[in-house]
Amino acid sequence: MRDYINLDYKPRRREVLACYHITGGKASIKEIANNLAGESSIDTWTDIKTLSPGIFKKLKPNVYYLKNNYVKIAYHPELFEKGNMSQILSSLAGNVFGLKMVGNLRLIDIKFPREIIKSFDGPRYGVEGIRKLTKVRDRPFVGAIIKPKLGLNAKQHAGVAYEAWVGGCDTVKDDENLTSMKFNKFKKRVDVTLKAREKAEKETGEVKLYMPNVTAETLEMLKRAEYVSNNGGNYVMIDVLTSGFAAVHTLRKNIRLPIHAHRAMHAALTKSERIGITMPMLSKIFRMIGVDTLHIGTAMVGKMGVSISETVYSEREIESRKTKKQDHLFEQEWYNTRRVLAVASGGLQPCSIGKVIDRMGKDVVCNFGGGIHAHPWGTRAGSTAVRQALDAYLNKVPLKEYAKTRNELAKAIETWGLV
């Protein structure tokens, strides 16, 4: 293994920068870092005769930072195929996790240069596009997840969606494990739910979005997405991690509808502070590939809460913010790539909405499952309570005061209490 340590090196704008955190292991941090750089690029465990001086000089990565178990490496851009996230991650998050000498390894962040950022499509709609589509300009969105996750037939599913929409929700989405089941076939569900959406739009005068889950084998996924588009649908959803980076990219290339990204399985990669990949890193990847909305946590408010510092970085995308926990996150330049709209979801109830907005800003979809459907008066009342809570927040009126003349919100406060 050749020497890739160069702590005097100054990274160039065209290079790809990666930051890793290393703990444990069977060698010094310096030795591990050196092997990390070689294995993720041009080298292997022993000195190979086929790695010529010319290749080494041109393509060698440089370990330019070693401090407090953090390692930063600068890579020549020609080591990566533009527009191919699978290849990029096979290098930077591939064999390196299996190296015997490495104890715990976490990929903290990657900074991409302009030529790689621009080789991906990015979101077709993003925050501003979704606001234009829905005509919701100056407030957060509210949405519903159909519950129970599994068990409803297509007609029942559409009925629940209708109740959520007429109660006040802007969006309704399938849950992550609802695809095409024996009791709820995909095409039938799309047909009847889109009819329910059309009816809700006529009754409310508002644009309503339905996000059917098209997750499947890639060719089948495209057929499902095309079916949604051909039948008047205005959104699709995909489980981005279980489907795979290439499948998400294929969907982005082949459909003109907005794409909602559900992050099911992300915690297998992100939850440990010692091993895996960070959520900010994944959110950056999916922004590049081109999803329009991204399922996130709830900033410690609901059951899927994550740390506020991580949420602020990844979901509000303030790349330059520097807290103690973010010293090793790069400031990414996006070169006019549209912003992804965050979808905060996981254990929210109507009285949670103010805290979510305080932490994440107005460019967010506050998504409710049990917090709507468990309202004692049903889904419509739960949805209405959410909109009432949002109105109270926007008008700076205390929830209890606002609830004096709004029965649905009053019942929600009685049921769940103030947050």
Q: Identify the three-state secondary structure at position 397.
A: coil
Choice among 21, 60, 111, 147 that is catalytic: 147
Answer whether 24's CB lies under 8 Å from 36's CB.
Answer: no
DSSP state of 338: P
147 a catalytic residue: yes
**HSE, side-chain direction, 13 A CA sphere, residue 108:** 21
Annotation says 262 is catalytic: yes
Q: Where are the alpha helices (DSSP H) in 205-278?
A: 218-230, 240-243, 245-254, 267-270
Region of residue 115 (phi > 0: left; psi between -120 and 50: alpha; otherwise: beta): alpha
Q: State the catalytic residue, choosing from 208, 249, 262, 375.
A: 262
Sheet holding 341-345, edge to edge: 209-211, 171-173, 141-145, 364-368, 341-345, 293-296, 259-262, 236-239
CA distances 53 to 22, 372, 400, Å, are 30, 64, 73
Residue 4 contacts by C-beta under 8 Å, 6 or more apart in sequence? 33, 34, 37, 38, 43, 60, 61, 62, 63, 73
What does the block give as tokens for 166? 């007429």
Helix axes 353-360, 379-394, angle to 10 degrees: 50
User: How large is the C-alpha radius of gyration of the chain?
Assistant: 23
Would strands 293-296 and 364-368 be described as parallel, antiparallel, or unpaired? unpaired
Handedness of CA 134, 140, 142, 143 (dihedral sign): positive
Beta bridge partners of 197: none
Return the active site residues.
147, 262
